[in-house]
Amino acid sequence: MPDKPRSPSGRRPVVVTCAITGGGDTVGKHPAIPVTPEQIAVSSLEAARAGAAIVHIHVRDPATGKPSSRLEHYAEVVQRIRAENTDVIINLTTGAGARFIPSVEDPKVGGAGSTLATPEARVRHIEALRPEICTLDITTMNFGEFVFVNTPAHLRTMAARVRAAGATAELELFDTGNIRLALRLIEEGALATPAMFQICLGVPWGAPATIEALLLMRDMLPKNAFWTGFGIGGHEFPMVAQAVLLGGHVRVGLEDNLYIERGVLAPSNAALVDKALRIVEALDAVPATPDQARDLLGLARPTAG
What is the pLDDT at residue 304? 56
What is the pLDDT at residue 4? 55
CATH class of domain segment(s) 13-297:
alpha beta
- DSSP letter at 54 equals E
CA distances from 216 to 125, 137, 223 (A): 34, 19, 14
State the pairing for strand pair 99-100/59-60.
Answer: unpaired
Q: Which of 95, 56, 36, 39 is nearest to 273 (CA)?
A: 56
Phi and psi for 143 in degrees, rounded to 5? Answer: -125, 90
Contact 257, 24 (CB under 8 A): no
- Beta-carbon neighbour count of residue 273 at 10 Å? 27
Contact 257, 266 (CB under 8 A): yes
- pLDDT above 70 for 305: no
| pLDDT tens per residue, range 5-51 | 556 678 999 999 999 999 888 898 999 999 999 999 999 999 999 99
Which pLDDT band, with edges at 50, 70 and 90, does 1 fall under? Answer: very low
**Nearest 10 degrees: CA dihedral of 74, 150, 144, 183?**
-110
Q: Which of 94, 177, 168 is nearest to 141 (CA)?
A: 177
What is the pLDDT at residue 8? 62
pTM listed for this prediction = 0.94
What is the pLDDT at residue 10? 83
Contact 91, 140 (CB under 8 A): no
| pLDDT tens per residue, range 112-167 | 999 999 999 999 999 999 999 999 999 999 998 899 999 999 999 999 999 999 99
